[in-house]
Amino acid sequence: VKGIEKYGIPVVIYVQFVPISRTIGANRIIPAVGIPYPLGDPTEGEEESYKIREKLVRRAFKALQTPITEQTVFEKDGGKSLT
């Protein structure tokens, strides 16, 4: 993430453990669903899993368009928290 961003390209990282991403210096962080399935939940069925993935991708697009000056966690409720 940091290597790509040093060239001026914004990057979003989906993570299960936000504190680890903060430690490594990721700038735009999105909490993922879980460890085995970060971008969906197969126990919810394919249609619901698709909705989860769509929300996460939309959140990533919004995060990429948001100017930031420090590490930012884009929370599940659509808000953001600054670290």
User: Tens of pLDDT along 13-23?
Assistant: 999 999 999 99
Strand partners, 30: 14
Q: What is the pLDDT of residue 11?
A: 94
The separation between CA 58 and the C-alpha centre of its own chain, rounded to angstroms, equals: 10
Model pTM score: 0.82
pLDDT at 45 over 80: yes
Q: Which two tokens stand for residue 55?
A: 């929300």
Give dist(CA 78, CA 74) in Å, integer. Answer: 7
Contact of 16 with 56, CB cutoff 8 Å: no
